[in-house]
A and B are shown apart, each in its own frame.
Chain A
Amino acid sequence: MSEIVPPEVRPKPAVPAKPSHVAPPSSAPFVPSPQGTGGEGQGSGRGSALLGYIGIDTIIEQMRKKTMKAGFDFNIMVVGQSGLGKSTLVNTLFKSQVSRRSTSWSRDEKIPKTVEIKSVSHVIEEGGVKMKLTVVDTPGFGDQINNDNCWEPISKHINEQYEKFLKEEVNIARKKRIPDTRVHCCLYFISPTGHSLRQLDIEFMKHLSRVVNIIPVIAKSDTLTPEEKTEFKQRVRKELEVCGIECYPQKEFDEDMEDKSDNDKIRETMPFAVVGSDKEYQVNGKRVLGRKTAWGVVEVENPNHCEFSLLRDFMIRSHLQDLKEVTHNIHYETYRAKRLNDNGGLHPISSSGHDTQESNL
């Protein structure tokens, strides 16, 4: 059986999730099989056999090197009522102080009257790979007495980023690497009431699940016992289904059976019940991140205590690139198509890009 792997069309993340795909060249000699099946590398199909090792599969290594040099952008938005631990969770996810915690607010800082959009960027590096991480915070969401349409500033911001990218794309002289400020992932924080989703949650997700990848998480889940957690999650999943809300990973974008089965497993455990913390405590001789209360220490990275590690592995270690791709190939394209349809044609604008030219689009 030939084990020639066709060159990958999609660039895989810098840390490959499924390293088994990369077949080491020395594992099997490429002998032309008399059956002549399966070998795409059989060239013109006349049975011309590979008489040696070409090295097509090293393209993966080349891509990897390039990605490492270029670095990549990742933009994450956190949405939820104040006090649900959004900033703490982001800091815990990326193991660095990327988000200013609101417990350090001074006494005079009040809840903003309208939803604000605050975006903070950091460059973090791991294993030679640089990532420019932008965290977009939304203080004021859901905190007022009257929260009608409080998702509008958020929706506007997301569309503005798409618009910016579209303008750059449509330029005659395009930049080599268009700076990507589009929101790749939106973490929506659900309040752990233990009953069901709030009205505001449903309204937000209805309006935004077709525009951005939403990953719902149950915040401060150390207030729920394991049984309450399972019941709550079941109810939330059912409600999302009834309302027709598709969170990431969306079923319609599963590419093949393997994807589908992986994603199904994830969908079964969503929404993740998380606990965030940036303090370390000693438990059983190890130092762990956690929260210390009078009755025990909640360990953040212990899968029996909460699903933080599941969320982290899912978001960062396996689906980071996929999040970006779905945003680019699907959400952005939807926006683009809508814009083009609305304006009946696209004129490339000059690189000076005056705003008055926008009507030409």
Chain B
Amino acid sequence: MTTNIRYKSRSMKSEDSEDKQYVGFATLPNQVHRKSVKKGFDFTLMVAGESGLGKSTLVNSLFLTDLYKDRKLLNAEERINQTVEITKHTVDIEEKGVKLKLTIVDTPGFGDAVNNNECWRPITDYIDQQFEQYFRDESGLNRKNILDNRVHCCLYFIPPFGHGLRPVDVEFMKALHEKVNIIPLISKADCLTPTEVKKLKDRVRDEIERFGIKVYQFPECDSDEEEEFKQMDKELKECTPFAVIGSNTVVEARGQRVRGRLYPWGIVEVENQSHCDFVKLRNMLIRSHMHDLKDVTCDVHYENYRAHCIQEMTSKLAQDNRTDSPLPILPLPTPDVETEKLIKMKDEELKRMQEMLEKMQQQMHEKDQ
């Protein structure tokens, strides 16, 4: 028996030494991966630009869905009194077991009126509202199921017909560049020849720099990434702003069925890299930088908002109370869902009782008469 034990202990000792070198936390990414896949991801994308620039078509092409099936296009008379609206469409996409809850925020009416002064106000208000809601949820008592509706990315569509940025483009981007990641795009690029595309891109890049607009910057590659990745990254950066084409229809080109647009003089293929930058945009937006966009939104834009909010509150409190409070006093959190429900129920009960009382009073009144 002792020999057995001795044998056992010796074998355990050798395992011990192996265990000493291998702890096992290298499997952590896999665990995170499994958990995230179970939980699913969410992403909020905003599209902004004048009507008729192909925003809905592009969104449909990007995510291979048809989000705008029942859309009714207004004619110009109906649009006279239209103000900028904010509409949301949510779609759940699943691919290889990974779930994505995609929310598209659209801005119909932007830039369509004759007088477009401050037409971006509803959009900035919406973004601020989402930040505020998140802020309150975060500071609340029940933080288990915070819904993240913050806008992670804003695709801004620049018309290809002009000679660069127009005043409304500049003002919009300046109002939003510190609140959301802006990715400018040149829309309907199939009306431009290759030279014109290049000229327009150069001009837009120049003007963005000149007006000090901070568009979303691609993060630098780590130095230990592969050469191929670095090359791709460099190409991507030189290509901005992307000149894109979208299509809702499938056409036959070179023997294959592709998404494209059929003209009498040729077929434009959406996914052909020599025709437009759609593939680059898709890769960048979905395949490589989706997470980074979310990170920048959380770490930079949201933190900016939060700091700004807290500063305002402390300065306001200081004015009201004239006390120096070292800690920022958070606003009272809104009551959570259960208490709100209770309050509602009680309200309804009260209302019902009041109605009954009234009825009885009326009946007595009639009886008297």
Q: Which residues of A contact B (CB under 8 A)?
A: 81-85, 102-103, 105, 107, 111, 143-148, 191-203, 219-220, 222-223, 225-226, 235, 238-239, 242-243, 291-299, 302, 304-305
Does B116 belong to the interface (CB within 8 Å)?
yes
Given the contacts A144-B167, A193-B53, A219-B161, A292 and B266 also touching, CB distance less than 8 Å: no
CB distance from A159 to the nearest CB of B (A): 22
Does B274 belong to the interface (CB within 8 Å)?
yes
Partner of B161, one of A84, A144, A238, A297: A84
CB contact list, B152-192 vs A, under 8 A:
159-163, 166-168, 171, 188, 190-192
What A residues does B193 contact at CB under 8 A?
Answer: 291-293
A-B contact pairs, 21 of them (CB 8 A): A81-B162, A107-B203, A144-B167, A146-B116, A191-B161, A193-B51, A195-B52, A197-B76, A202-B76, A219-B161, A222-B191, A223-B188, A223-B190, A225-B262, A225-B263, A238-B75, A293-B190, A293-B266, A295-B269, A297-B266, A302-B264
Interface residues on B, range: 35 or more
New A-B pairs, 8, CB < 8 Å, besides A193-B52, A294-B275: A145-B116, A146-B114, A195-B51, A222-B265, A225-B262, A239-B75, A239-B77, A293-B194
Partner of A145, one of B167, B191, B199: B167
CB distance from B107 to the nearest CB of A (A): 15
Residue pair B115, A223 in contact (C-beta under 8 Å): no
CA distance A197 to B113 in the complex (A): 11
CB contact list, B274-329 vs A, under 8 A:
274-275
Given the contacts A195-B51, A201-B76, A292-B193, A105 and B117 also touching, CB distance less than 8 Å: no
CB distance from B182 to the nearest CB of A (A): 18
CA distance A203 to B268 in the complex (A): 35
Which B residue sits closest to A102, measured CB to CB?
Answer: B163
> How many A-B Cβ pairs are below 8 Å?
125
Residue pair B76, A239 in contact (C-beta under 8 Å): yes
Does B337 belong to the interface (CB within 8 Å)?
no
Given the contacts A145-B168, A196-B76, A199-B80, A105 and B116 also touching, CB distance less than 8 Å: no
Residue of A105, A107, A198, A295 contacting most chain B CB atoms (<10 Å):
A295
CA distance A196 to B265 in the complex (A): 25
Q: Which residues of B contact A (CB under 8 A)?
A: 50-53, 73-77, 79-80, 112-117, 119, 159-163, 166-168, 171, 188, 190-194, 199, 203, 206, 261-269, 274-275
CB distance from A209 to the nearest CB of B (A): 15
What B residues does A297 contact at CB under 8 A?
Answer: 265-266
Residue pair B112, A198 in contact (C-beta under 8 Å): yes
CA distance A349 to B328 in the complex (A): 81
CB distance from A198 to the nearest CB of B (A): 7
CA distance A239 to B76 in the complex (A): 7
